[in-house]
Chains A and B, each alone.
Chain A
Amino acid sequence: MTCQETREKIHEYLDGELAANQAAVLELHLGECDKCRDFWEGLIWVKQALAVRERLPVPAQEQVWNQVHFRAHYGWPVWLQEQWDRFRTYWRDLDRLLLWSKLSAIPVTLGFFVMVLMQFPLVQFQHWTYPAFEMRRMPSSVFTEPLMTQVMARHTHADIDEIWSAAWKIPYEDSLSLVAQITPAGHAEIDQILKYPKNQDLLAAVDDSLRSTRFQSARNIRNPLVIYSFQKIDVYSDLPGL
C-alpha cells in the first residue's frame, strides 16, 4: 500500500469503518512508514480532543424549557411578535454599506419595472392630426376659397397596424393622396382621389381605416373635408443589389 492510498483510507480506519483485510494492510504500512504514522497520530489526537461533550447547565436548562413552554402555548401573537422582532433587528443591525446598497436597489428595481410596463401602451389608440378645409365664400369676396383648419382623429392600433402592414407589403415607393368627407356620424368617406396608389390594397386599407376612425369635429367648420396623404419611401431603392 502506498502512502497516497493510506491517506485515502486512514479516515475510514480511524472511524472503524474499514474492512478487516484492508485494515490489516494499512496497519502494516503504518508500522513501516514514519510519515504516515505521524499523520495517523495527529488524526487520533484531533479526534480525542474533539470528543468532549458540552453539558447544558442546569439553570440554563430550566430557562430554555420555560421559554419553550411559554412560546409554544401562546399561539400567533407570540409568533407575530417574534417575526416583528426578527425583522426589526435585521434592519437595525445591518451594516451601513449593506443597508444603503439594499435601499438603493429599490428605485433601480422600480425603474426597471416601469420601463417594462412602458412597452405596453395604456391607451389603445393614438390621436393624429389631419389638415382639413371647407370651401367657403367670405363675405368680402366673390370667390369661394378653402378655409383651412385641423381635425383630430382617433386611430385604434388595429387600424394603424392594418395600414402599416399594407404599406409594408409593397416592395416599391408608392403614395396616395385623397380628400375625404367627414360624415355626421364622425367617420369619413373618400370624396375624391387626387393620386391613386399603384397598389390597390393600400387604398382599401386606407378606406377601411377612414370608415372606422372617429374624427372630432373641427372648429368653425360644418362640413370639413380631410386631406389624407400617404407616402412610402423606399430608402434602399437606389442602392444597387438590394
Chain B
Amino acid sequence: MGELTGSVGSRIGFQEAEDLLVRLREHDEQAFAEVFHLYKDLVYTLSVKLLSDKTEAMDITQEVFLTLFRKIHNFRGDCSLKTWLYRVTLNQAANRNRWWRRRFRNQTESISLKLKDDGPVTPDPVSDSPWPDRVLYAEEIQRALQLALEDLPFDQRAAVVLRDVQGLSYEEIAEVVGAEIGTVKSRIARGRERLKDRLKPYREGAAL
C-alpha cells in the first residue's frame, strides 16, 4: 500500500527543490524540463481521475506547465512546488468541470470511455499475461471506478483522489484545496463511502 501511494515528487530533497526553484525563476530551460519530467505523471493522473477523459487530461497537463512557465514569478514559495502544481491542476480541472456541466455533460458521452467500451473485449490470444481474464476484470473495475468517481461531487472527488491516488497527507490536501482539515476529512469519508456503495457488486464478484 505504501509503495502504491508514495508520491514521486516527494522524493526530491529540500535543498534540491530550493535549487530548482531558483533556476526556475531565472527561466532556466533545463530546470523546466526537470520539473516537467518529475511532475508530468502526477498532474496527468490527477486530471484523468478528476475528469475521466484522457484528451482533456493532456490538455490540462499542458495548461498547468504553461502556467508554471508563465507565472513562476507569482509563486511566493510559501508552499512546496508540488502543492502549487496540484492547486493549479485542481483549478483548471474545476474550470473544465464547470464548463462541461454547463454544456450538459451528463447528456454527452466521454469519448475515451466510449472507445474503451466499444473496443475489443476478447482477450489477445498471444498476450503473455498469465491471467487475461483477471486483467480484463481489473480493467472493468477501473472503468466502473472512473464512472463512480464521475458521479461524486467535485469537492469529494478531488479530496479522495488526492488522498488515495496521489497519497497526500490531510494537511497537504487542506493546503491544496484551501479548506479546513476537518472539511477535508469529511469529504474523503463521504466520497469513499459512496464509492464503496457504488462498487459493491464488483467487490462481491471479486470475492467469488
Contact = CB atoms under 8 A, between A and B. Distances in A.
B44 interface: yes
A23 to B, nearest CB: 15
A54 B1 contact: no
By size class, the interface of chain A is 20 to 34
Interface of B: 1, 4-5, 33, 36, 40-41, 44-45, 48-49, 57-58, 61-62, 65-66, 69-70, 102-104, 141-142, 145, 160-161, 163-165, 167, 169-170, 185, 188-189, 192-193, 195-196, 199-200, 203, 206
A45 interface: yes
Contact of A53 (B165, B199, B200): B165
A68 interface: yes
A47 B69 contact: no
Contacts of B196: 39, 42-43, 45-46
B203 A15 contact: no
Interface stretch (A57-65, A104-112, A192-200): A57-65
A11 B190 CA distance: 10
Contacts of A11: 185, 188-189, 192
Given A46-B199, A53-B41, A64 B58 contact: yes
The secondary structure that dominates the B interface is helix
Nearest to A66: B62
Contacts of A51: 1, 4-5, 164-165, 167
The secondary structure that dominates the A interface is helix
B115 to A, nearest CB: 15
Contact of A17 (B44, B165, B170, B192): B170
13 contacts: A11-B192, A42-B196, A45-B199, A46-B164, A46-B196, A47-B192, A50-B164, A63-B58, A64-B58, A64-B62, A65-B33, A72-B69, A72-B70
Contacts of A95: 102-104
Give the interface centre of B33, B49, B65, B104 by most chain A CB atoms within 10 Å: B65
| 7 smallest beta-carbon distances between A and B, as pairs | A51-B4, A50-B164, A72-B69, A42-B196, A56-B44, A54-B45, A11-B189
A64 B48 contact: no
A52 interface: yes
A56 B61 contact: yes
B188 A64 contact: no
A61 B40 contact: yes
A52 B104 CA distance: 29
A67 B164 CA distance: 30
Interface string A61-96: 101110110011000000000000000000001110
Contact of B62 (A54, A68, A94, A98): A68
A67 B5 CA distance: 30
B189 A50 contact: no
A169 interface: no
Given A46-B192, A46-B195, A47-B164, A64 B145 contact: no
Given A12-B185, A51-B165, A68-B65, A56 B41 contact: yes
Contacts of A4: none
A48 B203 CA distance: 11
Contacts of A53: 41, 45, 165
A35 interface: no
A19 interface: no
